[in-house]
Amino acid sequence: TFEEGFDDIHMLKGIENYSHLWLLFIFHQNIERGWKNTVKAPRLGGNSTMGVLASRSTHRPNGIGMSVVENKGIISKNGKAQLVVEGVDLVNGTPLIDIKPYISYADSITNATDKLNEISPIPNREVLFADRLKLILEEVEKRHHDFSALVKAVLAQDPRPAYKQQLDNDEKTYRVTLYDIDVGFEIKDAAVRVTELVQIG
């Protein structure tokens, strides 16, 4: 949604021509914590450091982040614009400072390299839901139709601390919040097993 003064639907004229968009935003939950010249790199096990400007750390000198999302169209309510997107990896209430079209010929670089990915590739684990969660999951998906897919997409990447990602069995229960649901999960036999789905609030 757009704040008053920025909600004129004419500002979005032509945006339907683009399948994806860049969102520029502020890491508002981290600004007060400040920043350092170097940060611990999760992809390197969480112990090695690299320059903050060579990382995607949320603790940045200017607090600005960027994310690509899928453009699902515009909603107009009483002449006020709302933009519908999917694939958002921001917390609720994150302030946006700009929206730009993703232009494939300019933004997609086919010969780009990522040496960190060669050293430490992103995990891709199987995600399983406990049988007892079936009814709860059905209720959640009445409100959030893509909830199961979102949980699988997030947890397949194994969001545990990097030094734990080598463990294919981990008795600890970890938690992430997706939409208004607290998701509890553990790692067993190399798979991510969702054990809890708890409504927040």
In a domain, residue 30? The reply is yes
Q: Helical H runs in 40-156? A: 104-107, 115-119, 134-143, 147-155
Residues 103 and 133 in one domain: no
* 109-123 mean pLDDT: 74
Residues 101 and 134 in one domain: no
- What does the pLDDT look like over 149-175, one tens digit per residue? 999 999 999 988 877 888 899 989 999
Q: The domain containing residue 31 runs over which residues?
A: 9-107
Amino acid identity for residue 184 in this structure: G
Residues 85 and 15 in one domain: yes
Report the distance separating Cα 54 and Cα 93, nearest Å.
Answer: 27
In a domain, residue 116? The reply is no
Looking at the DSSP bridge assignments, the partners of residue 128 are 193
Does the predicted model carry a pTM greater than 0.85?
A: no
Q: Which of 89, 152, 147, 151 is nearest to 125 (CA)?
A: 152
CATH code of 174's domain: 3.30.2310.20
Report the distance separating Cα 159 and Cα 151, nearest Å.
Answer: 11
Confidence of residue 31 (pLDDT cuts 50, 70, 90): confident
- What does the pLDDT look like over 74-91, one tens digit per residue? 988 877 888 999 888 888
- Asked which of 107, 136, 161 is the last residue of a domain, the reply is 107
In a domain, residue 90? The reply is yes
CA atoms within 13 A on the CB side of 153: 10
E strands along 27-95, which residues? 38-40, 49-51, 64-77, 80-86
Cα angle at 183 between 182 and 184, to 5 degrees?
A: 120
CA atoms within 13 A on the CB side of 201: 4
The structure tokens 């609720």 sit at 92
Strand order in the sheet with 64-77: 80-86, 64-77, 20-26, 96-101
Number of domains in the chain: 2
CATH code of 83's domain: 2.40.30.70
